[in-house]
Amino acid sequence: MDYLKGLNEPQLEAVTTLQGPLMVLAGAGSGKTRVLTMRIAHLITNGVDPFNILSLTFTNKAAKEMKERIAKLVGDSNARSLWMGTFHSVFARILRSEGHHLGYPSNFTIYDMQDALNVMKKVIKDMNIDSEIYKAKKVLSRISQYKNNLITVNAYFNNPDLMEADEKANMRLMGDIYRKYVEACFKNGAMDFDDLLLKTNELLTRFPEVLAKYQDRFRYILVDEYQDTNHSQYLIVKALASKFENICVVGDDAQSIYSFRGANIHNILNFKKDYPDAVTVSLEQNYRSTQNIVDAANVVISKNLQQFKKNVFSENEIGDKIKVYRSLSDADEANFVSANIFELHNTQQRHFSDFAILYRTNSQTRAFEDALRKKNIPYKVYGGLSFYQRKEVKDLLAYLRILVNENDSEALSRIINYPARGIGETTQNKLVVFADSQNVPVAQVLDNLGFYAPQLGLNNGVLTKLGDFWAMIKAFQVMLKTENVYDVAMEVAKRSGLIKFLKEDATPEGISRVENIQELLNSMQGFIEEQIQIEGGDPSLSNFMENIALSADTQTDKEDDGDKVSLMTIHLSKGLEFPVVHLVGLEENLFPSFMSSSTREELEEERRLFYVALTRAEKQVFFTYAVSRFQWGKITDAEPSRFLSEIDDKYVEMINPVTELKFINRSGINSNIFDDTPSEPRFFKKKEEKKTIERNVNTPVPKQLKPIATARIINPSGSSSEDIQVGDNV
């Protein structure tokens, strides 16, 4: 039992208390996950059959890592028999063998979001109701909320408050839609993600013999990241554990960051109420990070009112101060980060896998991907595809591909009815079959629709829709002859209905899709500027498309983790650790997000998110923010995030101290946009003078792009100065 030697006293207590309810409530990096791992090994060493152990993790990745560690301690075969995985994966497995009680076949389909949407659209259509009021995405996200709170269709109709709320929201038919949707899924033998939890609850409540069977099997239950369980998950765990009460949960209320998905922080706070005999262990020593990082994180989280006070300390080295880089633009920020990684890789012999770039929203990825690629630094984007492979990005690109090459049938089939415009599959099939029979490309048939119409066998309504669609494509092509790539792409995004369609989804995922489109447009603007500046540059759409196609090839997304820089949202970084963390985009309205800074609760969740990000780091942290960011075709000013000013000066230092930054505008008149006086040495406490540099989206980019502004950085000593152009690397 060598593994027990490396544990501190409270950790040892948690690992060796094998019977009864146990809660470990402790700060980041204090060894909670390590305790869980060791505890499982210890259970097995003490004769518990791994088959009787259920361990629930937040991500599949975490489950995999934990299993590997356990295998090292107690052998492969033991580790293999463990029940370990996410709530969804474990309970899908149980439903496969028990779902027949509820009338589901064992090979039931699991619907992803897109499948669910298709079903919902059909329901709405069949009900013949206004799909503008009852938008499929909106309706589905309401249903998801019901399901995660165990509100079944029957429960819904027995809940006057809910019905009244939907009535007030002008969605009187929600209950009927809910019923029809559930019926449709059931008829298809399918469950959506929320069903996996809802149906497990139903199974365990309605069939006591099934509950008894799994209570007997899962004699030992362990849950990591307990603070982020939702009500449905909480009830499953409670039911399963109620016989033996060998339940161990570990978590940190300060890291609860999923309330928007229904996570309920009270689950952890109420553990003592549910199990009055529970042993609670708190861990105070952080083994992950330097003292400086731990102290800074403590200061930030102490600003939250809603939290358990915890004492977290580190006995590691004091370590470097957190370095803050103030960049002029988002591109500058990305260039700094990639240059910094490059340098630390060379000078400190760091592996690329030692680095993480953490951001608030997925749409921030693109600039970093571009900057890393330029320096040939290998990277991996977690949680999703590489930027250019994301569906919404590919959809817009498919429109642009058609503009470049009408005969690209793959792109055509992707967008001909996306967003939906009434050109269904039957029509598309007829079109393709007919074009084949005439031995001409589909585009040619569309070009001569009037001529071919009698032979196509399509009714007038459909012909009109096809005609309208093709006229729109033609109009874009004409526009491309005179306008720049960015303007055309913006027009495509708008007129095709793509943006409008994506905006209907107000979930965080939906918002990030819209932001990704915005980012793609931004990248075009950057491309144009780049091409205009280089000799013989070619700012055409086909060149843009070619660049993307080539760069997508170099970024093959194989599943090897290898020696790569990790890029991910803070949400995804939970539980992980990296020697060097770059936390980027630290600006008001970005982080904290503009969506989440109106109430104290929301702001506290953003602050917890900040705490999670900071505590991922072992040795070094870099914060970056930009004073202006490209959004929706214009450069807008950004203010440093309030979280920056919440950390005491003693923990941070500015990398690029700027005492005076002068803008020389085109008329040659100097204007101070930055007024840092020695009496107020902190760069971000001072509100910066608003100055927005806008470019009218509708005017073509000038042939010769003039620098928008020149800034002069004067060293503090005043001995030397350097001119830089906004948008250039500093």
Q: Which residues are annotated as a binding site for ATP?
A: 26-33
Which residue ranges are tagged as binding site? Answer: 26-33
**From 10, 21, 23, 31, residue interacting with ligand ATP (rule: CB under 6 A):** 31
Coil, strand or helix at 493: helix
Question: What's the burial of 426, exposed, middle or buried (CB within 10 Å: 0-12/13-18/19+)?
Answer: exposed
DSSP, res 669 = -
For the CB of residue 32, give the shortest distance to ligand ATP in the complex, in Å: 3
Catalytic residue status for 310: no
- The token duo for 126 is 């069949």
For the CB of residue 55, give the shortest distance to ligand ATP in the complex, in Å: 14
Q: For residue 633, what are the contacts with CB-CB under 8 A and spacing of at least 6? A: 486, 490, 521, 522, 525, 695, 697
Among the candidate windows 25-33, 88-96, 549-557, 646-654, which touches Mg ion by CB under 5 A? 25-33
Task: Give the containing element (helix H, strand E) for 181.
Answer: helix 174-187
Q: Return the number of other C-beta atoms located less than 10 Å from residue 34's C-beta.
A: 21
- Contact partner, 85, from Mg ion, ligand ATP, none, Cβ < 5-8 Å per class: none
- Contact partner, 6, from ligand ATP, Mg ion, none, Cβ < 5-8 Å per class: ligand ATP
Ranges within 252-271 binding ligand ATP (CB under 6 A): 252, 255
Q: Does 10 bind Mg ion (CB under 5 A)?
A: no
Q: For residue 41, what are the contacts with CB-CB under 8 A and spacing of at least 6? A: 3, 70, 73, 74
Does residue 104 contact residue 189 with C-beta atoms inside 8 Å?
yes
Among the candidate windows 5-13, 172-180, 196-204, 477-485, which touches ligand ATP by CB under 6 A? 5-13
Catalytic residue status for 224: yes
Looking at beta carbons only, is 35 or 278 nearer to ligand ATP? 35
Looking at beta carbons only, is 32 or 366 nearer to Mg ion? 32
**From 33, 362, 484, 523, residue interacting with Mg ion (rule: CB under 5 A):** 33
Q: Does 99 bind Mg ion (CB under 5 A)?
A: no
Catalytic residue among 39, 67, 608, 616: 616
What is the DSSP annotation of 183-229? HHHHHTTEEEHHHHHHHHHHHHHH-HHHHHHHHHH-SEEEESSGGG-
Catalytic residue among 37, 57, 255, 285: 255
Q: Does 8 bind ligand ATP (CB under 6 A)?
A: yes
Q: Does 592 bind ligand ATP (CB under 6 A)?
A: no
Alpha-carbon gap, residue 370 to 375, rounded angstroms? 9
Looking at beta carbons only, is 26 or 499 nearer to ligand ATP? 26
Looking at beta carbons only, is 7 or 432 nearer to ligand ATP? 7
Looking at beta carbons only, is 120 or 294 nearer to ligand ATP? 294
Q: For residue 661, what are the contacts with CB-CB under 8 A and spacing of at least 6? A: 672, 673, 674, 711, 712, 713
Does residue 575 contact residue 58 with C-beta atoms inside 8 Å?
yes
Catalytic residue status for 98: no
Binding-site size for ligand ATP (CB under 6 A) equals 19
Residue window 560-599: x/- pattern of binding to Mg ion, with contact defined by CB under 5 A: ---------------x------------------------
Alpha-carbon gap, residue 226 to 230, rounded angstroms? 9
Binding-site size for Mg ion (CB under 5 A) equals 3
Q: Is the dihedral of CA 569, 572, 574, 576 positive or negative?
A: negative
- Is the backbone of residue 255 left (phi > 0), alpha (psi -120 to 50) or beta? alpha
Coil, strand or helix at 725: strand
Q: Does 4 bind ligand ATP (CB under 6 A)?
A: no
| Residue among 624, 565, 684 at smallest CA distance from 330 | 624
Among the candidate windows 24-32, 38-46, 320-328, 421-429, which touches Mg ion by CB under 5 A? 24-32
Alpha-carbon gap, residue 331 to 628, rounded angstroms? 10
Among the candidate windows 25-33, 40-48, 320-328, 692-700, which touches ligand ATP by CB under 6 A? 25-33
Among the candidate windows 30-38, 103-111, 442-450, 641-649, which touches ligand ATP by CB under 6 A? 30-38
- Contact partner, 660, from ligand ATP, Mg ion, none, Cβ < 5-8 Å per class: none
| Residue among 524, 557, 508 at smallest CA distance from 361 | 508
Alpha-carbon gap, residue 563 to 544, rounded angstroms? 29
Q: Is the dihedral of CA 706, 709, 713, 719 positive or negative?
A: positive
In three state form, how does the secondary structure of 42-66 look? HHHHCCCCHHHEEEEECCHHHHHHH
Q: In 533-684, which ranges are E strands?
A: 565-569, 578-583, 617-626, 628-631, 634-637, 652-654, 660-664, 670-675
- Contact partner, 11, from ligand ATP, Mg ion, none, Cβ < 5-8 Å per class: ligand ATP
Q: Does 30 bind Mg ion (CB under 5 A)?
A: no
Residue 478: what are its φ and ψ, rounded to 5°? -65, -45
- Contact partner, 288, from ligand ATP, Mg ion, none, Cβ < 5-8 Å per class: ligand ATP
Looking at beta carbons only, is 28 or 92 nearer to ligand ATP? 28
Among the candidate windows 26-34, 49-57, 551-559, 694-702, which touches Mg ion by CB under 5 A? 26-34
Q: Does 6 bind ligand ATP (CB under 6 A)?
A: yes
Coil, strand or helix at 618: strand
For the CB of residue 223, give the shortest distance to Mg ion in the complex, in Å: 12
Q: Does 12 bind ligand ATP (CB under 6 A)?
A: no
Q: Does 34 bind ligand ATP (CB under 6 A)?
A: yes
Q: Does 286 bind Mg ion (CB under 5 A)?
A: no
Q: Return the number of other C-beta atoms located less than 10 Å from residue 265's C-beta.
A: 21
For the CB of residue 288, give the shortest distance to ligand ATP in the complex, in Å: 4
First CA to last CA across the chain, in angstroms? Answer: 55
Q: Does 29 bind ligand ATP (CB under 6 A)?
A: yes
Looking at beta carbons only, is 33 or 386 nearer to Mg ion? 33
- The token duo for 48 is 């518990």
For the CB of residue 240, give the shortest distance to Mg ion in the complex, in Å: 22
Question: What's the burial of 599, exposed, middle or buried (CB within 10 Å: 0-12/13-18/19+)?
Answer: exposed
Residue window 557-586: x/- pattern of binding to ligand ATP, with contact defined by CB under 6 A: ------------------x-x---------
**From 32, 390, 401, 465, residue interacting with ligand ATP (rule: CB under 6 A):** 32
- The token duo for 700 is 């073509």
- Contact partner, 510, from Mg ion, ligand ATP, none, Cβ < 5-8 Å per class: none
For the CB of residue 200, give the shortest distance to ligand ATP in the complex, in Å: 25
Residue window 594-633: x/- pattern of binding to ligand ATP, with contact defined by CB under 6 A: ---------------------x------------------
Catalytic residue among 224, 253, 395, 491: 224
What is the DSSP annotation of 269-313? HTHHHH-TT-EEE---EE-SS-HHHHHHHHHHHTT-SSS-----E
- Contact partner, 8, from ligand ATP, Mg ion, none, Cβ < 5-8 Å per class: ligand ATP
Does residue 426 contact residue 433 with C-beta atoms inside 8 Å?
no
Q: Does 255 bind Mg ion (CB under 5 A)?
A: no
DSSP, res 420 = -
Ranges within 284-343 binding ligand ATP (CB under 6 A): 287-288
- Contact partner, 434, from Mg ion, ligand ATP, none, Cβ < 5-8 Å per class: none
For the CB of residue 250, give the shortest distance to Mg ion in the complex, in Å: 7
Question: What's the burial of 164, exposed, middle or buried (CB within 10 Å: 0-12/13-18/19+)?
Answer: exposed
Alpha-carbon gap, residue 636 to 251, rounded angstroms? 39
Catalytic residue status for 32: yes
**From 10, 15, 21, 30, residue interacting with ligand ATP (rule: CB under 6 A):** 30
Q: Does 59 bind Mg ion (CB under 5 A)?
A: no
Provide the binding-site residues for Mg ion, judged by CB under 5 A: 32-33, 575
Provide the binding-site residues for ligand ATP, judged by CB under 6 A: 6-8, 11, 26, 28-34, 252, 255, 287-288, 575, 577, 615
Catalytic residues: 32-33, 224-225, 255, 616
